[in-house]
C-alpha cells in the first residue's frame, strides 16, 4: 500500500532529503520546508521505501501538495 507524504503546512520546499529507492523508518526526515523563516523537517509517517518524488525544491507547497510517496 502506498503512503503519500503531504506538506504539513504552507511554505517553501527547500529540499527533498531522500532518493527514490531509499528505505525510511517512521519519523525519519524526508524533506525540509521553510515557513515563517523557520526550517521545518517533514518526517515519514510510516516505514517504507521511497517510490516517487512528487515535488521540486524551491517551489511553494501547501497541505494538498504530495512531496514523496512511500511504498
Partner 1 sequence: MLDVITNQNFLYNVFGGFTHLTWQAIVMIIIGGILLYLGVAKDYEPLLLVPIGFGCILANLPLTELIHVPRELFVFHDGVREILSSTGLLPLQEGVRLVDQGILDVLYDAGIGNELFPCLLFIGIGAMTDFGPLLQNPRILLLGGAGQFGIFLTLMLALVLGYDKMEAICIAIIGACDGPTSIYITSKFNPSLLGPISVAAYSYMSLVPIIQPPIMRLCTTKKEREMSMSYDVLKPVTQTTKTLFPVVVTIITLLIAPVGAPLMGTLMLGNFLRESKVTGKLVKSAENEIASITTLFLGLTVGSTMNGDVFLTVKTLGILALGFIAICGDTAFGVFGAKIMNIFSRVKINPLIGAAGISAFPMAARVVHKVGCEANPQTYLLMHAMGVNTGGQIGSVLAASVMIAIITTLQIMQLIPM
Among 12, 14, 45, 69, binds partner 1 (CB under 8 A): 45
CB-neighbour burial class of residue 38 (10 A; exposed 0-12, middle 13-18, buried 19+): exposed
Among positions 14, 40, 55, 66, the unique one binding partner 1 when judged by CB under 8 A: 40
Residue 39's nearest CA partner among 49, 54, 27, 29 is 29
**Candidate list 1, 19, 21, 36; residue touching partner 1; CB under 8 A:** 36
Give residues 16-35 in contact with partner 1 (rule: CB under 8 A).
27, 35
Does 43 participate in binding partner 1 (rule CB under 8 A)?
A: yes
CB 59 within 8 A of CB 43: no
Amino acid at each position: 500500500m502506498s503512503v503519500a507524504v503531504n506538506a504539513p503546512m504552507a511554505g517553501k520546499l527547500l529540499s527533498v532529503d531522500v532518493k527514490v529507492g531509499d528505505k525510511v523508518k517512521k519519523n525519519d526526515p524526508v524533506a525540509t520546508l521553510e515557513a515563517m523563516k523557520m526550517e521545518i523537517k517533514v518526517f515519514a509517517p510510516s516505514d517504507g521505501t521511497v517510490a516517487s518524488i512528487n515535488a521540486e525544491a524551491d517551489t511553494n507547497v501547501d497541505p494538498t501538495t504530495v512531496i514523496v510517496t512511500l511504498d
